[in-house]
Chains A and B, each alone.
Chain A
Amino acid sequence: MRSDSMFFYNLSLAMQSFKRAPTLYFLIMLTLSIGVGVLCANLALVNSMASDPIPEKSDKLIHISMNTWPGDQPPDEPMHILRYRDAMKIAESDIPKRSAVFYASGVYARDVESTSMKRFDSDVRATTPGFFELTNAPFAYGSAFEKDHGMEVVIGDELNQKIFAGKNSVGKTLELDGELLTIVGVLKSWVLRPLFYHATEGRAFNLTDDIYAPLETAIDLGWSIHARSSSADNYSGVEDTRDKNAYYLQVWVELDDVNQRSLMQSYLDNYSQQLKEAGEHPLATRNELHNVNEWLSVKKVVDQKVLAFTIASVLFLAVCIFNASSLLLSRFHAAKFEVGLRRAIGASNRHMLIQGLTESVLLGIFTGAVALVLSWLFLKLSVQFLPRLANIAVLEPKLLVLGMLLALITSIASALYPLYRANRYTISAELK
């Protein structure tokens, strides 16, 4: 009862204090808000970049890089893209629980029943069916296609919204670059930050794809490769790549444990060695397996500049706290009389400390609210200058909580020294 009443009394004192020096408190709040806002915006970027996009099995999903380049100018590192027959060799292995072989493409899409001739520029993932279970792709309607061949597609939520207003479009037919394919599944809104299954070529922060098509169908239809590829042979189109030394397919497998990983490594090494012995490549056997987080780390998905800027933001926040502390010190100095009076009539140092901390917490809450708005603005601004950040410049709920906590901590930190000084005032000095 007593502590409740003191809590509300301290709250009213804090509000009174704000009213007495609104400009000064506004400056303190603004100073801290800018510091927290900038740091929070950077943390939002780092959080998106460094987070685990599929924590439930990120240690089981393995990206495969191989070293089977047949030419006389081999790459320094094993290649993250494989040729068709290498990829199929992996896909036919029964060691992995699941596997996915895919490449990125693009088509123009329209609903064949639509009276409009408008076509939507759509990103395509030409993939084996294992992709969906491997990546835990969430289905809103229908299901995955079951074969590598077939005039069937799964579409993403965004394209479904654009073409079918978000309704169940399973069974509808899409015209994709002049070919008719039936929708068998529609995904829910699906965000992967980073887009681990295609973390190369600066695509780690792209959205998930619009269309998922059977791999063999896409190859047969000649849907072009919209990602990095390398080839030691000439080929006319993607449909001509199956038996060529054209490297463009990414391969992921799902391995349940280290034993399977070890078996997979041996399987790849044996295969690579056989190719070498057959004279297909002159290179040392070097095949690499990386789980999701290892792969994101190898690909340096977390931008070092953003990290550096985050460290700079921490230092900037420290300067903001110092400035806010100086302003609060002047405020507390001006309030020496009241501190002395309250102490004289019975307030203990503890009372004054709690009163000061209540004020700081309240200030911290206001600061947090403003900081989060500023943080959102900073992110919007950063996207203006760096459009590639568009899909990661988001304030997730945990960042909102972190921002509020940061604001509270900084507000309290900036009040600590002024409070310490205020508690050392000689009570009688200000009273006559």
Chain B
Amino acid sequence: MLKMNNISRIYQNDTIQTHALRDFSLNVKAGEFVAVTGPSGSGKSTFLNVAGLLDNFDRGQYELDGVSVQGLKDDELSRLRNEKIGFIFQNYNLIPDYSIFDNVDMPLRYRGFSASERKRRVEEALEKVGLASRLKYLPSQLSGGQQQRVAIARALAGEPKILLADEPTGNLDSLMARQVMEILHDLNKGGATIIMVTHDPDQAREVSRNVQVIDGQLADFRVYAPLDRTKGNAGETIFNAVNEEMADA
């Protein structure tokens, strides 16, 4: 689904050159739920931005759902973002004076769907996150958890191939965070591929794979047993390696 080989991203100003990603390689298969962890400034968000085609990279190869993104024009990159990627941000990034419906509808507008098709998709997406009855609400009339669920609905509405979540529970209390994580797990069970940047080690242990980024490089990855909270086995490591090529395997 997502294949990065030796990706480098360098930020440069007049005096300083910062290597945000160095020879970063990662392969995420369809249906995986990958947690990306690492200290602040390690390059997690840069990785997510590059993965989401929100930022360029300087070297390396990146293939998304079989499409090599190097050399693609802005229109083509935008279409890839629109059709294949759903973003979930820490700050929800809802437009405050748009209704919930209009917020979820936004990406569909750029897809060229008819009004009836957009309506069906928006309602279905909001149904999935349990907010079908709040179509006309403004974001400010919802709790933080509900706003993040709207953001998830917006990401889902276009039926993307992959969901990229940047600390989706970072602004939520534990109860709301739990609800959001459950939705993400449900989506993953339904076949969605998810890459989630998180600082929360518990959340990282809940997912099928945790990769750690340090100094812009993949430092470690762990593969966990399938989550079964009822049996309390969350976080049991069944595979651990530092060799990224093994991760690909």
Interface residue B43 (Cβ < 8 Å from any Cβ of A): no
Chain B 73-95: CB-based contact to A (< 8 A → 1; otherwise 0)? 01101110111000101110101
CA distance A302 to B79 in the complex (A): 57
Q: Are B112 and A347 in contact (CB under 8 A)?
A: no
How far in angstroms is the closest Cβ of chain A from B138? 13
CB–CB B110/A346 < 8 A? yes
Known: A347-B110, A351-B78, A351-B110. A338 touches B95 (CB 8 A): yes
Closest A residue to B86 by CB, please name it. Answer: A345
Partner of A343, one of B78, B91, B95, B166: B78
Stretch at the interface among B24-32, B47-55, B200-208, B236-244: B47-55
B106 touches A345 (CB 8 A): yes
Which listed residue (A2, A337, A345) contacts B154, Cβ 8 A?
Answer: A345
Query: A350 touching B75 by the CB < 8 A rule?
Result: yes
Measured CB to CB, the closest approach of chain A to B150, in angstroms, equals: 13
Bound CA–CA A295/B130 (angstroms): 82
| Alpha-carbon distance between A1 and B115 when the two chains are bound, in angstroms | 11
Residues B54 and A346 in contact, CB atoms below 8 Å apart? no
A338 to chain B, nearest CB (A): 6
Residue-wise, chain A 1-25 has the 8 Å CB interface mask toward B (1 for contact) of: 1100110010000001000100000
Does A427 lie at the interface of the complex (its beta carbon under 8 Å from any beta carbon of B)?
yes
Question: How many Å lie between the Cα of A348 and that of B83 in the bound state?
Answer: 13
Q: A297 in the interface, Cβ–Cβ < 8 Å?
A: no
Question: A218 CA to B18 CA in the complex, in Å?
Answer: 96
Is A319 on the interface with B (CB-CB < 8 A)?
no
Q: By the criterion CB–CB under 8 Å, are A427 and B115 in contact?
A: no
- What's the Cα separation between A349 and B75 when bound, in Å? 7
Decide if A341 is an interface residue (CB 8 Å cutoff): yes
Q: Are A9 and B97 in contact (CB under 8 A)?
A: no
Is B136 in the interface zone, CB < 8 Å from A? no
B109 engages A9 (CB within 8 Å) = yes
Are the C-beta atoms of B78 and A341 separated by less than 8 Å? Answer: no
Whether the Cβ atoms of A341 and B75 lie closer than 8 Å is: no
Give the residue name and chain of the A residue nearest to B84 (CB): A346
- B95 near A341: Cβ-Cβ < 8 Å: yes
Q: How far is B96's CA from A20's CA once the two chains are assembled, in angstroms?
A: 11
For residue A351, which residues in chain B have a CB less than 8 angstroms away from its CB? 78, 110
Q: Is A342 positioned at the interface, with any CB of B under 8 Å from its CB?
A: yes
Q: Is the pair B107, A345 in contact by a Cβ cutoff of 8 Å? A: yes
In this assembly, does B178 line the interface, its C-beta being within 8 Å of a C-beta of chain A?
Answer: no
A431: interface (CB < 8 Å): yes
> Which label, helix, strand, loop or mixed, suits the secondary structure of the A interface?
helix
Contact B109 A6 (CB under 8 A): yes
Instruction: Mark each residue of chain A from 316 to 350: 1 if its CB lies under 8 Å from any CB of chain B, else 0.
Output: 00000000000000000000011001111111111
Residues of A with C-beta under 8 A to B90: 432
**Contacts A6-B109, A428-B49: A348 and B95 contacting too (C-beta < 8 A)?**
no
Q: Indicate if the CB atoms of A349 and B93 lie closer than 8 Å.
A: no
Q: Which residues of B contact A432 (CB under 8 A)?
A: 89-91, 93, 166
A7 to chain B, nearest CB (A): 12
Of the candidates B52, B79, B109, the one having the most CB atoms from chain A within 10 angstroms of its own CB is B109
Which residue, A20, A342, A346, has most C-beta atoms of chain B within 10 A?
Answer: A346
Most buried by A among B81, B89, B91, B158: B81
Whose C-beta in chain B lies nearest to the C-beta of A342? B106
Q: Is A426 an interface residue (CB 8 A)?
A: yes
- Rounded to whole angstroms, the CA-CA distance of A426 and B54 in the bound complex is 8
Complex: how many Å from CA A431 to CA B53? 13
**Are A346 and B82 touching (Cβ within 8 A)?**
yes
Q: A347-B78, A348-B78 are in contact. Are A428 and B110 (CB under 8 A)?
A: no
Alpha-carbon distance between A348 and B112 when the two chains are bound, in angstroms: 13
A-B contact pairs, 19 of them (CB 8 A): A6-B112, A338-B95, A343-B78, A345-B81, A345-B110, A345-B154, A346-B78, A346-B110, A346-B111, A347-B78, A348-B78, A349-B75, A350-B74, A426-B55, A427-B55, A428-B45, A428-B54, A428-B55, A431-B89
Residues of chain B whose beta carbon lies under 8 Å from any beta carbon of chain A: 45, 49, 52, 54-55, 74-75, 77-79, 81-83, 87, 89-91, 93, 95, 97, 106-107, 109-112, 114-115, 154, 158, 166
- In the A-B complex, the 4 residue pairs with the closest CB atoms: A346-B82, A348-B78, A345-B107, A428-B54
Q: A5-B115, A426-B55, A427-B54 are in contact. List 6 more A-B contacts (CB 8 A).
A: A2-B112, A341-B95, A344-B81, A345-B82, A346-B158, A431-B91
